[in-house]
């Protein structure tokens, strides 16, 4: 089932995230990081920041997507400055593209996010492509 294109531009209200030292330490432990400065977040920590408050699930639910059909297809990060322990960050997430492939067997949702610091400005941009698998559509197309 195609995702309603009226969701294009859907945005969550901006939210703030406190990056505690414990938060970075837990993330480093989860990915087996033992090198690097303990107070600087690893590169993909930006995903944990933007995913705060269950934001990814809330976006997918707002678009009417069944979580069982969802896979992460692509992820891009642009880094403008480091995320550090003690930072208070503001996250903005917006659905910037919706498209489908293979006669609707695969829907794609593009979510772009920004992570900013009040004094240091924009620290990073993230672009996530979510794949929604629609097996019925494929079966229908094949029949």
Partner 1 sequence: MRLDQARPGEQVAEYQTGPIPREQLALYAEASGDSNPLHLDPAFARNAGFDDVIVHGMLGMALLGQLLDTQFAAFTLGCFDARFVAVLPVGQSLHCTATLAERTTTTLTLDLEAFDSTGKSIIVGRASLTPPA
Site residues (vs partner 1, CB under 8 A):
23, 26-27, 29-33, 35-36, 42-44, 47-48, 51-52, 54, 56-57, 67-79, 133, 135
Least distance (Å) from partner 1 to the CB of residue 6?
A: 25
Least distance (Å) from partner 1 to the CB of residue 78?
A: 5
Cβ distance to partner 1 smaller for residue 7 or 69: 69
Per-position DSSP letters for 50-108, written without gaps between them:
HTGGGHHHHHHHHTT--GGGEEEEEEEEEESS--BTT-EEEEEEEEEEEEEETTTTEEE
Cβ distance to partner 1 smaller for residue 121 or 135: 135
Tokens matching residue 46: 């930006």
Report the run of H or E that residue 3 belongs to, with start and end.
Answer: none
| C-alpha span between 40 and 17 (Å, rounded) | 15
Least distance (Å) from partner 1 to the CB of residue 143?
A: 19
Cβ distance to partner 1 smaller for residue 4 or 66: 66
């Amino acid at each position: 089932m195609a995702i309603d294109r009226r969701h294009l531009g859907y945005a969550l209200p901006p939210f703030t995230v406190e990056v505690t030292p414990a938060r970075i330490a837990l993330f480093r432990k989860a990915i087996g990081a033992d090198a690097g400065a303990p107070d600087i977040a690893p590169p993909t920590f930006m995903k944990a920041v933007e995913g705060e408050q269950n934001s990814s699930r809330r976006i997918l639910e707002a678009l009417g997507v069944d979580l069982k059909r969802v896979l992460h297809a692509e992820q891009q990060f642009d880094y403008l400055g480091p995320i550090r322990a003690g930072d208070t960050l503001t996250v903005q997430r917006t659905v910037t593209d919706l498209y489908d492939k293979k006669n609707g067997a695969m829907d794609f949702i593009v979510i772009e996010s920004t992570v900013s610091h009040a004094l240091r400005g924009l620290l990073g941009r993230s672009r996530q492509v979510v794949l929604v698998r629609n097996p019925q559509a494929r079966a229908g197309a094949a029949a």
